[in-house]
C-alpha cells in the first residue's frame, strides 16, 4: 500500500516510526501528546493508517527527527548527501587533515537529517575538534551526545562516547571529570550485562589512565591488576591490547620498567594477531620510549620500533605524532653519540610543530638543547631550554607539564644555573598540585650591646 500524502511506503514508514519511538524511550501515549491519540499512533505503527504531512511533522518534532527521515528513511536525498559528507570528513581525519573535516561538517544541515546520521556527524565533529586541540568544543559536542545515548538506552554507544569524552577531559587536565564520566558509563554497562566486551575493556583502561594522571597510582595498580586477570581469556584483541598498554603505563609510573616492558610485549603479541595498524603504531611508539628510558637504554631497538611505526603515521599525515617520533629519534641518536643527527631530528620535530603550543613542543626544544649541548654549543642549548620553559609557562597545569618542568629544571641544574633551576622546580611543584606554603616571619635577633 502506498501513502498518497507522503509518497512513502506505509509499512516501511510504520517500522521507522516504531523504531524511532522506542529509541526515544517514549510510549505511544507520550508520543501522541495532545495533538494525536494513542490509538492513532498504534494504527500508524501497525501500518494500518497513512499519516498526513501535518501528523508527520508533529511526530518528527516529538521524536527529534525529520519528516523526510520518517518518510524516506536513510534513502532520502538529504540523508544520503549528509552521510557522504560525514564519510568524506572521516576520510580527512584518517588522512591527518582535521581542518578539512571541520570544513565539510560545517557545510551540512544536521537539523535536516534523522538522529542516526546526526549522531554520526556529531561524533565525527567531536573527533575533528579534538584533533585540532579544540578540547572545549569537543566537550560541548560529546556531553549532550553521551547524555542522549544514556537516556535512550544505548549503553554500548554510551560506552564508546564515554571513553572518548573521558580521554578528552584527561587531555584537558580535568582528571576528576574524566574519572566520573568513565565510572558512570561502566556502571551502565554492568547494569546492562555488557561487561567484558571490547567497549567495556577499553573504557576501564581509559578510567585507569585517569586515576594514574590524577595521582591515584595505588588504586590504579589495584584496578589494572584485576583487569589483567579478567582479560587473560577474552577474545577481544583491541580491548586486551588496550588493557596491557595501560598496565604498562601503570608499571612505568611505579618505576617498574621490567614489568612495563613485559606488558607492552603482551599487547604487541595480541594486536599482531589482527591487522590493527593504528593500535599497533601506538604500542610500538610507547615501546620505543620505554626502551629509551630503560636501564640500560636500548636506542637501536627503539629506532627499530620507530621505523616500523613511521609508514603508518606518515600515511595519515599526523604531524604531531610524527614530531614525537622525531624527538624519539633525536634521543636515540644522542645515546648513540651522534649529536649532529640528534640535532637534525629535533629541528625536524620543531618544524612539524610550528605554531603549536603543547607539551610535545617543549619536549622538542629540550631534545634540541640536549643535542646542541652535546655538540659543544652551550649558549644554543640554553636558548633551547629557555624556549621549552616559555612554552610550558603558557600551558594549563597538569601532571604532564609538571614532569616537563622537572626536566627543564634538571637541565638548568646540570648547567649550574641555580636561579633558573629553582624557578623550574617551583613550577613543577605548582603544576603537580603543591601549593606554596605560608612561611612565618623569622624571629628577629636580640640586640646586643
What gap in Å lies between CA 248 and CA 227, rounded to an integer?
13
Is the pLDDT score of 189 beyond 80? yes
Domains of the chain: 10-75 (1.10.260.40), 320-435 (1.25.40.10)
* Averaged pLDDT score across all residues of the chain: 84
In order, the DSSP letters of 13-66 are HHHHHHHHHHHHT--HHHHHTTTS-HHHHHHHHTT-S---HHHHHHHHHHHTS-
Count CB atoms within 10 A of the CB of residue 443: 6
pLDDT in tens, 144-163: 999 988 887 778 888 889 98
Long-range pairs for 399-405: beta carbons < 8 A, 24 or more residues apart: 399/213, 399/215, 399/431, 399/432, 400/213, 400/359, 401/359, 401/431, 402/427, 402/428, 402/429, 402/430, 402/431, 402/432, 403/428, 404/359, 404/362, 404/363, 404/366, 405/431
Classified as helix, coil or strand, 2 is strand
Its pTM stands at: 0.66
**Residue 404 near residue 388 (C-beta atoms within 8 A):** yes
Is the pLDDT score of 1 beyond 50? no
Phi, psi of 400 (to 5 degrees): -70, -45
- List, in sequence order, the alpha helices (H) in 52-114: 53-63, 67-72, 77-94, 98-106
The half-sphere exposure of 425 on its side-chain side, counting CA atoms within 13 A, is 11
pLDDT in tens, 299-353: 999 999 999 888 878 877 678 889 999 999 999 999 999 999 999 999 999 999 9
Q: Which one, of 87, 111, 2, lies nearest residue 51 by Cα?
A: 2
Is the pLDDT score of 218 beyond 70? yes
Amino acid at each position: 500500500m502506498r501513502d498518497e500524502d507522503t509518497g512513502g511506503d506505509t509499512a516501511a514508514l510504520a517500522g521507522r516510526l516504531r523504531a524511532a519511538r522506542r529509541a526515544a524511550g517514549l510510549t505511544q501515549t507520550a508520543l501522541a501528546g495532545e495533538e494525536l491519540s494513542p490509538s492513532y499512533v498504534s494504527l500508524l505503527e501497525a501500518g494500518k493508517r497513512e499519516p498526513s504531512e501535518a501528523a508527520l511533522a508533529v511526530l518528527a518534532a516529538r521524536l527529534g527527527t525529520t519528516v523526510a527521515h520518517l518518510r524516506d528513511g536513510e534513502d532520502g536525498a538529504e540523508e544520503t548527501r549528509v552521510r557522504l559528507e560525514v564519510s568524506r570528513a572521516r576520510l580527512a581525519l584518517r588522512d591527518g587533515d582535521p581542518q578539512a573535516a571541520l570544513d565539510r561538517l560545517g557545510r551540512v544541515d544536521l537539523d535536516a537529517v534523522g538522529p542516526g546520521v546526526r549522531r554520526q556527524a556529531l561524533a565525527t565533529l567531536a573527533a575533528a575538534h579534538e584533533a585540532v586541540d579544540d578540547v572545549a568544543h569537543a566537550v560541548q559536542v560529546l556531553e549532550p551526545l553521551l547524555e542522549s545515548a544514556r537516556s535512550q538506552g544505548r549503553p554500548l554507544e554510551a560506552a564508546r562516547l564515554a571513553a572518548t569524552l573521558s580521554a578528552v577531559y584527561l587531555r584537558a587536565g580535568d582528571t576528576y571529570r574524566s574519572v566520573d564520566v568513565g565510572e558512570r558509563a561502566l556502571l551502565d554497562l554492568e547494569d546492562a550485562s555488557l561487561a567484558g566486551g571490547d567497549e567495556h575493556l577499553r573504557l576501564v583502561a581509559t578510567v585507569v589512565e585517569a586515576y594514574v594522571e590524577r595521582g591515584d597510582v595505588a588504586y590504579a595498580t589495584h584496578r589494572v591488576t584485576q583487569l589483567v586477570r579478567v582479560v587473560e581469556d577474552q577474545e577481544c584483541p583491541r580491548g586486551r591490547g588496550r588493557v596491557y598498554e595501560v598496565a604498562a603505563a601503570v608499571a612505568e609510573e611505579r618505576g617498574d620498567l621490567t614489568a612495563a616492558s613485559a606488558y607492552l610485549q603482551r599487547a604487541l603479541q595480541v594486536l599482531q594477531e589482527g591487522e590493527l595498524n593504528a593500535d599497533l603504531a601506538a604500542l610500538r611508539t610507547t615501546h620505543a620510549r620505554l626502551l629509551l628510558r630503560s636501564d640500560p637504554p636500548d636506542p637501536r631497538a627503539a629506532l627499530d620500533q620507530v621505523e616500523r611505526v613511521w609508514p603508518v603515521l606518515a600515511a595519515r599525515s599526523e604531524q604531531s605524532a610524527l614530531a614525537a617520533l622525531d624527538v624519539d629519534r633525536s634521543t636515540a641518536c644522542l645515546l648513540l653519540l651522534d649529536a649532529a643527527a640528534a640535532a637534525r631530528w629535533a629541528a625536524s620535530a620543531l618544524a612539524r610543530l610550528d605554531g603549536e603550543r603543547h607539551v610535545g613542543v617543549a619536549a622538542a626544544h629540550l631534545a634540541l638543547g640536549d643535542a646542541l649541548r652535546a655538540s659543544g654549543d652551550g649558549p644554543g642549548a640554553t636558548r633551547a631550554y629557555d624556549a621549552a620553559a616559555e612554552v610550558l609557562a603558557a600551558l594549563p597545569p597538569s601532571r604532564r607539564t609538571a614532569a616537563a618542568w622537572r626536566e627543564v629544571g634538571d637541565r638548568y641544574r646540570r648547567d649550574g644555573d641555580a636561579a633558573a633551576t629553582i624557578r623550574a622546580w617551583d613550577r613543577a611543584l605548582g603544576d603537580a598540585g603543591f601549593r606554596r606554603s605560608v612561611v612565618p616571619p623569622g624571629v628577629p635577633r636580640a640586640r646586643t650591646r
